[in-house]
Amino acid sequence: MRKTLSILSVLVLFSLLLAACGGAQPAAPGETVTVKETVVVTVIAPAAPAVVAPAGYGVTLETVKTRGNLICGVNAQVPGFGYVAADGSFSGFDVDYCRALAAAIFGDPSKVEFRPVTAAERFTALQSGEIDILSRNTTWSLVRDTELGTNFVHTTFYDGQGMMVPTDSGITDLAGLEGGTVCVQTGTTTELNLADVMAANGISYTPAVFEDADKTFAAYAEGRCDAVTTDKSGLVSRRTVLADPAAHVILDVTMSKEPLGPAVRHGDDQWFDIAQWTVFAMFSGEEFGITSANVDDIKSSATAPEVKRLLGVEGDLGLKLGLTNDWAYNILKLVGNYAEVYNRNLGPDTPTYIPRGYNSLYVDGGLLYAPPFR
């Protein structure tokens, strides 16, 4: 059927071209035209672009709304990104993204259950429906985007893999690890990159592999490894919980690209769009200078059309996502823009301070760039 239609389209185009070249009037919708005396086609009026919702479209939002909360797969062992305190409260940059998504859906950032998942568990948890979204220092890669059934929304934190050693080891580069042992966590890109980079540099080493961050860093702290490797953000984070952080140094090497961001499972484009535009609302809030403190003032006085659309003063962008028009207002009011979330968890006043670097807005020389709100 689709093939027939495309043949028809070609023929229609051909007839229009003939008509145009010959100076004749183009055929009108419904009119029958003869092309080269042999092929007769009926010109079909151009249809309005239809969005055909595939199976699965909308299922996640419906499930989340019916349940009354969002289940977000997070880290529980990486302070600044995803961490659970002794009182059971969760905090971190990735955790706040879950709150932003809950604010977009429910107008209430507390309507989220945080489900800790280890590196090895996370994709199965997403696939099986145990979690609605994964927001856990997860690197976007081709295999995860395809075979593992995952769709990554826009990167929220650009990172790279690093290596940490005891300061008194005197090691300053990867070559200094020749013949040594490196602690690494299983189920991560870290484990794979380590093998690649060491092989590429001809450095022989022994990996000591553990199933979560606590075990990996405990082994390192006990001196069972000469070094520990993970995302640089993870190293900054985990160094803060070592007995003497100043006794450890992160080498000045970047072993990989680690674009970290939220991920959803394949098959529900509406949910992907909601997750994606939640990120963009946070970027745009920062770009337009809208914070949790001034969003009400800006909402009542905004004149810039894009700001009005973002905050739902004009247009119906929220409805197009299946949400209400104040979805982005709720994110910015109740959780904050990207800079607020970043600074709360990773800013200069936190123990896990990481300079913005690539994670700055494009207008500040970074990589964060949201498409237009229109």
Ligand X SMILES: N[C@@H](CCC(=O)N[C@@H](CS)C(=O)NCC(=O)O)C(=O)O
Residues that bind ligand X (CB under 6 A): 75, 77-78, 118-119, 137-139, 185, 188-190, 212-213, 230-231, 234, 238, 258, 260
CB nearer ligand X, residue 17 or residue 367? 367
CB nearer ligand X, residue 78 or residue 281? 78
Question: Can you tell me the distance from the alpha carbon of 323 to that of 106, in angstroms, rounded to the nearest whole number?
Answer: 9
Question: Can you tell me the distance from the alpha carbon of 201 to that of 176, in angstroms, rounded to the nearest whole number?
Answer: 12
For ligand X, the nearest residue by Cβ is: 234
Q: What is the DSSP string of 10-55?
A: HHHHHHHHHHHHHTPPPPPTT-EEEETTTEEEEPPPPPPPP-PPPT
Q: Closest separation between CB of residue 267 and ligand X, Å?
A: 21
Q: What is the DSSP string of 333-369?
A: HHT--HHHHHHHHHSTTSTT----GGGSBGGGTSSB-
CB nearer ligand X, residue 233 or residue 337? 233
Q: Closest separation between CB of residue 260 and ligand X, Å?
A: 6
CB nearer ligand X, residue 75 or residue 360? 75
129, 145 Cβ separation under 8 angstroms: no
CB nearer ligand X, residue 118 or residue 337? 118
Residue located via tokens 């593992």: 148
Q: Closest separation between CB of residue 257 and ligand X, Å?
A: 11
Q: Closest separation between CB of residue 146 and ligand X, Å?
A: 16
Residue 265 neighbours by CB under 8 Å, 6+ apart: 126, 127, 129, 149, 150, 151
Q: Closest separation between CB of residue 212 and ligand X, Å?
A: 4
